[in-house]
Amino acid sequence: MKVQLVDHNLSDSAVVRAARVSTVGGTHRLLPEPPTAESTERDAGLIGYLMRERHGSPFEHGSLTLYVEAPIFVFREWQRHRIASYNEESARYRELKPDFYLPPVDRDLVQVGKPGAYTFEPGTIEQLATVDTELSTAYRAAYEAYERMLAAGIAREIARAALPVGTYSSMYVTMNPRGLMNFLSLRTHRQDATFVSHPQREIEVCAEKAEAIFRALMPITHAAFEKNGRVAP
């Protein structure tokens, strides 16, 4: 699975600028002061305050565009997040390649417990082999059916119905920092979070990659998000 930075205008200073219009008015025309230890501390204090008090709108100024390759079942979960913009490849307009998801060997395979409180444990060697064989067989049969239909002149939009949710897709997604933090709080599992979420591991892998990008671009905001129990403002 791939999550790559395409474009962004994120910065901690955009949050500070947006928040300060409340008290000092517009500052975008002023020459930016070179950051000092004092100004950095002041900005971090303001961002921490906004996060803690859940003054969320200053975190909406900015956008991050990611390119994602992941199975369709991950996209179904990701695209439930409405505070984002999406463009995905079309199985009506292009023929899909035979790219299918197989879980890596360290992916826990056995679900224990009840809904809302599942835990996952490693599979045995036999279970790993079963997953590998069954998924590969199903994928091969599905793709062959897809190709037979295309060869028989059937439209791609009908033939695609044979393909499973393990088929890889690709998309661009654009989010603002507030929407992204909401996504990260729900799609990562952190025992120390104020609200502990239990996402499917595959979307969590993508969320972790997105979070690494976010952390590098907005280190002060990310630190405040962490300090605030990963509650989106």
Ligand X SMILES: Cc1cc2nc3c(=O)[nH]c(=O)nc-3n(C[C@H](O)[C@H](O)[C@H](O)COP(=O)(O)OP(=O)(O)OC[C@H]3O[C@@H](n4cnc5c(N)ncnc54)[C@H](O)[C@@H]3O)c2cc1C
Known catalytic residues are: 187
Quick check: 207 binds ligand X (CB under 6 A)?
no
- With vertex at residue 221, the alpha carbon angle to CA 50 and CA 188, rounded to the nearest 5 degrees, is 110
In the sheet where 168-175 sits, what is the strand order?
Answer: 2-8, 64-71, 168-175, 85-88
At closest approach, how far in Å is the CB of 233 from ligand X?
11
Q: Which is nearer to ligand X, 96 or 173 (CB)?
A: 173
For the segment 61-90, give every residue that binds ligand X (CB under 6 A).
80-83
Strand partners, 68: 3, 171
Q: Is residue 3 within a helix (H) or strand (E), and if so which, with residue range? A: strand 2-8
Quick check: 170 binds ligand X (CB under 6 A)?
no
Among the listed residues 62, 166, 179, 233, the single contact to ligand X using CB under 6 A: 179
Phi/psi of residue 167, nearest 5 degrees: -70, 135
Quick check: 29 binds ligand X (CB under 6 A)?
no
CA distance 204 to 167: 18
Quick check: 103 binds ligand X (CB under 6 A)?
no
Quick check: 3 binds ligand X (CB under 6 A)?
no
CB 95 within 8 A of CB 163: no
Q: What is the CA radius of gyration of the chain?
A: 22
At closest approach, how far in Å is the CB of 22 from ligand X?
22
CA distance 43 to 78: 32
Where would I find the H helices in 25-155? Answer: 37-53, 72-78, 125-151
Q: Which is nearer to ligand X, 50 or 96 (CB)?
A: 50
Question: Near ligand X by CB under 6 A, which window of 96-104, 128-136, 194-202, 216-224?
Answer: 194-202
Quick check: 198 binds ligand X (CB under 6 A)?
yes
Quick check: 182 binds ligand X (CB under 6 A)?
yes
Q: Which is nearer to ligand X, 31 or 117 (CB)?
A: 117
Q: Which is nearer to ligand X, 78 or 146 (CB)?
A: 78
Q: Which amino acid is at 176?
A: N
Interface positions with ligand X (CB under 6 A): 80-83, 179, 182, 186-187, 197-199
